[in-house]
Amino acid sequence: MERFLYTILVFLGLTAGLLHAGESVAQEPTNLEKGKTALAQGDLSSARKFLELAYKEAPQDTAVISALTDTYLRGQDARRAEQVLTDAVKRTPTMSELYVYLGVAQNMRGNFKTAYETLQKANELLGAEHPLRSTLYLNLGIATQGLIAQQTREMDGPSALSWYDKAVELNPRNATAHSYRGSALYRAGNYEDAVLAYSKALEIDDSNAIIIYNRGMAYLREGNRAKACLDFHAACKRRNMNACKQITIECTHDQLGAKQQPEQ
């Protein structure tokens, strides 16, 4: 089973020397503003450039820290994100949001024990109605699953399932939470509910090849080869190589025909 994570419009202003006397000069956007604009437009390279400059100017500014670490995490640079967030937590040890983001970065780096401890600290500090609670629960599930895998070399779905249940309860539109919930159910051998969880995720993100492939695997384990092959073909078209391999193994004409023959 697989796991699962633009262009900035630059304002070109005239220099003061080219302006007529008495004209007002538009204020130049700050590096933070430029970075947040680039981030909103998906230009991670420009966002990173501006926000790193902003961080040098104001390393204690929580708005800068938040935007910069968001940029690092979206760009899969969890190491840099962890460095910035570790320093920020030392300076502001009561800011609950920092612990959530730090736990996410540690999960991404595979440091599940440290992530679990960090996220439990966030769980203590974060308000009951805080919008990051769904993200917190999702990552507690990931950390739990990963920690058990490191200790036993097996992925334990049931122990993480309660965290994923909480995540989707708080945010039913979180496709990632539904997907991880499906994976936990799959590993528990509950293939029927795994299919339902993956289907929920695909209602939100219908083009995600990993989720399509994972649902196909759940269908296959459930004994529904025809639906499994439909998902494998759909995921393969989206360049999921594992799905393409499953087509050659499970979805040839002879295999499907043999499956459809009544038992004697």
196 burial (CB, 10 Å; 0-12 / 13-18 / 19+) is middle
CA dist 14 and 11 (Å) reads 10
41 burial (CB, 10 Å; 0-12 / 13-18 / 19+) is middle
What is the band of 96 on the pLDDT scale with cuts at 50, 70, 90? very high
Angle at 106 between CA 104 and CA 56, to 5 degrees: 85
Percent of the chain whose pLDDT exceeds 90: 79
pLDDT at 225: 96
Instruction: Identify residue 29 by its one-letter amino acid code.
Output: P
User: What predicted TM-score, i.e. pTM, was given to this entire model?
Assistant: 0.80
Residues 34-49 have pLDDT tens digits of 999 999 999 999 999 9
Residues 185-200 have pLDDT tens digits of 999 899 999 999 999 9
pLDDT at 255: 53
Angle at 250 between CA 249 and CA 253, to 5 degrees: 105
Residues 113-146 have pLDDT tens digits of 999 999 999 999 999 999 999 999 999 999 999 9
pLDDT at 159: 82
Which pair of tokens denotes residue 187?
Answer: 């590993």
* pLDDT at residue 169 is higher than 90: yes
CA dist 257 and 264 (Å) reads 15
Domain boundaries, the chain: 211-252
Residues 79-93 have pLDDT tens digits of 999 999 999 999 999
DSSP per residue, the chain:
------------PPPGGGSPTT---PPPPPHHHHHHHHHHTT-HHHHHHHHHHHHHH-TT-HHHHHHHHHHHHHTT-HHHHHHHHHHHHHH-TT-HHHHHHHHHHHHHTT-HHHHHHHHHHHHHHS-TT-TTHHHHHHHHHHHHHHHHHHHHSS--HHHHHHHHHHHHHH-TT-HHHHHHHHHHHHHTT-HHHHHHHHHHHHHH-TT-HHHHHHHHHHHHHHT-HHHHHHHHHHHHHTT-HHHHHHHHHH--HHHHHHHHSPP-
What is the band of 27 on the pLDDT scale with cuts at 50, 70, 90? confident
Instruction: Identify residue 145 by its one-letter amino acid code.
Output: Q
pLDDT at 238: 96
